[in-house]
Structure 1
Amino acid sequence: MLKLTSPSTIRYIMDKYGFRFSKSLGQNFLIDEGTVNRIVANAEVGPEDMVLEVGPGIGVMTQVLAAHAEKVVAVEIDSSLLPVLNETLDGLDNVEVVHGDILKIDVKALLNEHFGDRKPKVVANLPYYVTTPILMRFLEERLPVSEIVVMIQKEVAERMTASPSTKAYGSLSIAVQYYCEAAVVQKVPPTVFMPQPSVESLVIRLKLREKPCVELVNPDFFFKLVKAAFGQRRKTLLNALSAGLSMPKDKILTALEEVEILPNIRGEALSIEEFARLANAFEEI
């Protein structure tokens, strides 16, 4: 089997199939075996696990996943990589490649077709330009997966896993942590990619909750409230909410007093539990 982490092998594949890296698809292939092995290890993929891989590229991680998992389904958007994957994954009977855009296909139907009632792990080196839309689709649609272990841009990973009162903490932190427990599990330098990206990467692990971490009267209003609180970070919470929600300050003050939150703090100081209490208080009044 071809050693896919070798730059010479990648050049051979590019010449044989006339393949060229696509900037528009965010293609950066891993060329470090240790990095790939650590990602799979951090996902704790075992012989009884089903795995969904998004963006297999030339199959670098797919080969390792196949060696550990019961079954791997890899979704690839680039049709020019399909003949490459036919060669690099040849002989791996527990791997299926699906051609499609993970943001456009019926993912729930795909999961049901290939995994039945079993919940797969999602393990992937995601294209950086669509990281957030892909992850939020899995979370917001409550797609039946057990956990997600993905390599993404460092800045985005820090925002997803941030705690209150930190620079990275914002509406994305709340949105992700509402649905799952999020943690950084691995650092990845640009030097292990071909071509090298201009940013550093982190691997995050998202363990999906059986139910969201807070109870909400109106989830839509909760997220609208959070977005308003972070919309103008330099403003006090009272002023940010007044502007973002187009709501009279006296009504906002009533809700803040109800849950004992000071109006002159900033949104970044509130935990997800405090945002939930505040959103529910608005519904009550």
Structure 2
Amino acid sequence: MTGRNRSSTASRDPDALLARAGIQPDRDQDQHFLVDDRVLDRLPTYVEGVDTNHVLEIGAGTGALTDRLLNVADRVTAVERDARLAEFLREEFADARGEGRLEIAEGDALSVELPEFTASVSNLPYGVSSEVLFRLLPAKRPLVVTVQTEFAERMVADPGTAEYGRLSVTAGHYAECEIVETVPPEAFSPPPAVESAVVRTAPREPNYAVDETAFLAFVRGVFTQRRKTVRNAIRNTTHISGIERPGAVVEAADEALLSQRAGDLAPAEFAELARLGCEVGGVSSEGATSGEEAG
């Protein structure tokens, strides 16, 4: 395990960084800069005990979190899509870049090539939280992400609860997820209209074996019809799941599963049905379309 121990190094003041950048936040780009020193100081502590050789940050903004990550990581790659902020980061952190400890990746986190990383800590742009997460989760690395509280609650929700959905199943497929703190709107500049939460994920292998693409596509399909029974959802969503013979899947499945609704099924039960889709339903990885967004 690697990582730096520079806790005695003074961190840059987030308000001063914002002033030096001289940029008015663009709400259309989800720019809400985290400026609460206490929250910023805590975020890197949530990856204590894991490999911080190369930490990835999505949405670096003015670099307040980047600065703190450099205190605990050997290397940091900071992704920023705003060209003005990317240029500011290159100038503000010229020393770290010159030492080979920081790379600024200018571009959209949904399309820019992401490096191999050992952990990721980010204040995610809220409008694309799910899409970004489902680029990061398959890497099976520890993540710490600040997201809307409602989104965080869906990530950690249990079957049978109102918050439980496709996001819950998909996130849980890759990792153990926990909310480690909530963050009030006034911790940001400008304050968002909602409360935020910090979620920590620890990668894990699921306790079931299943073709991953087929599983994710099946979950996606069934949740598009979450008010219907699983039996009907299987028949109605073949264009998403890739199941060619839904009747065969229904015939082979346990009636106790078929009579429930998507929000009541545990991940292992989704996996059982997805397995039947592969075994008797004619689905293949090529035919399934898991998609990137999760609701």
TM (normalized to structure 1)? 0.82
Pairwise CA RMSD: 2.6
- Of 119-128 and 44-53, more deviation after overlay is shown by 44-53
Instruction: Give the aligned partner of residue 133 of structure 2.
Output: 135
Task: State the SS of the aligned residue for 1:24.
Answer: helix
Deviation at 1:146, TM superposition (A): 2.4
Instruction: Give the aligned partner of residue 165 of structure 1.
Output: 160
Judged with a 3 Å threshold, the aligned counterparts in structure 2 of structure 1 residues 45 and 105 are, in CA distance, closer, same or farther, namely farther
The alignment status of 1:233 with 2:237, answered yes or no, reads: no
Instruction: Give the aligned partner of residue 29 of structure 2.
Output: 25
Judged with a 3 Å threshold, the aligned counterparts in structure 2 of structure 1 residues 249 and 284 are, in CA distance, closer, same or farther, namely closer
Task: State the SS of the aligned residue for 1:102.
Answer: coil
Identity %: 33
Deviation at 1:29, TM superposition (A): 0.8
For 1:40 and 1:262, locate their aligned partners in 2 and report how far apart those are by CA, in whole Å: 42
For 2:156 and 2:53, locate their aligned partners in 1 and report how far apart those are by CA, in whole Å: 25
Deviation at 1:105, TM superposition (A): 2.0
For 2:119 and 2:90, locate their aligned partners in 1 and report how far apart those are by CA, in whole Å: 23
The structure 1 residue matched to 2:118, chosen from 109, 117, 120, is: 120
Instruction: Give the aligned partner of residue 197 of structure 1.
Output: 192
Task: State the SS of the aligned residue for 1:155.
Answer: helix
Instruction: Give the aligned partner of residue 201 of structure 2.
Output: 206
For 2:200 and 2:214, locate their aligned partners in 1 and report how far apart those are by CA, in whole Å: 28
Counterpart residue type for residue 200 of structure 1: E
Task: State the SS of the aligned residue for 2:121.
Answer: strand
Judged with a 3 Å threshold, the aligned counterparts in structure 2 of structure 1 residues 274 and 49 are, in CA distance, closer, same or farther, namely same
Deviation at 1:172, TM superposition (A): 1.6
Q: What do the CA deviations read for 1:57-111 (whole angstroms, capped 9, x no partner)?
A: 111011111112222121211110134224433443432322222222222xx33
The alignment status of 1:5 with 2:5, answered yes or no, reads: no
Q: How many residues align?
A: 264
Judged with a 3 Å threshold, the aligned counterparts in structure 2 of structure 1 residues 175 and 65 are, in CA distance, closer, same or farther, namely same
For 2:50 and 2:224, locate their aligned partners in 1 and report how far apart those are by CA, in whole Å: 43
Judged with a 3 Å threshold, the aligned counterparts in structure 2 of structure 1 residues 162 and 38 are, in CA distance, closer, same or farther, namely same
Judged with a 3 Å threshold, the aligned counterparts in structure 2 of structure 1 residues 194 and 242 are, in CA distance, closer, same or farther, namely same
Deviation at 1:174, TM superposition (A): 1.4
- Of 224-233 and 28-37, more deviation after overlay is shown by 224-233
Deviation at 1:120, TM superposition (A): 1.9
TM (normalized to structure 2)? 0.79
- 8 Å CA contact 1:178–1:213 kept in 2: the answer is no
- Of 164-173 and 234-243, more deviation after overlay is shown by 234-243
Judged with a 3 Å threshold, the aligned counterparts in structure 2 of structure 1 residues 26 and 284 are, in CA distance, closer, same or farther, namely same
Deviation at 1:237, TM superposition (A): 2.1
Judged with a 3 Å threshold, the aligned counterparts in structure 2 of structure 1 residues 9 and 227 are, in CA distance, closer, same or farther, namely closer
Judged with a 3 Å threshold, the aligned counterparts in structure 2 of structure 1 residues 227 and 104 are, in CA distance, closer, same or farther, namely closer
Task: State the SS of the aligned residue for 1:176.
Answer: helix
Judged with a 3 Å threshold, the aligned counterparts in structure 2 of structure 1 residues 284 and 13 are, in CA distance, closer, same or farther, namely closer
For 2:278 and 2:51, locate their aligned partners in 1 and report how far apart those are by CA, in whole Å: 48
The alignment status of 1:97 with 2:97, answered yes or no, reads: no
The structure 2 residue matched to 1:283, chosen from 278, 283, 291, is: 278
Q: What do the CA deviations read for 1:213-249 (whole angstroms, capped 9, x no partner)?
A: 4211x43332332223222222222222222238888
- 8 Å CA contact 1:50–1:71 kept in 2: the answer is yes
- Of 93-102 and 244-253, more deviation after overlay is shown by 244-253
Deviation at 1:262, TM superposition (A): 4.2
Counterpart residue type for residue 209 of structure 2: E
- 8 Å CA contact 1:46–1:70 kept in 2: the answer is no
For 1:222 and 1:104, locate their aligned partners in 2 and report how far apart those are by CA, in whole Å: 24
Deviation at 1:40, TM superposition (A): 1.2
For 2:221 and 2:105, locate their aligned partners in 1 and report how far apart those are by CA, in whole Å: 39
The structure 2 residue matched to 1:183, chosen from 178, 183, 187, is: 178
Deviation at 1:264, TM superposition (A): 2.5
Unaligned runs of 5+ in 2: 1-9, 281-295
Judged with a 3 Å threshold, the aligned counterparts in structure 2 of structure 1 residues 65 and 267 are, in CA distance, closer, same or farther, namely same
- 8 Å CA contact 1:154–1:201 kept in 2: the answer is yes
The alignment status of 1:49 with 2:53, answered yes or no, reads: yes
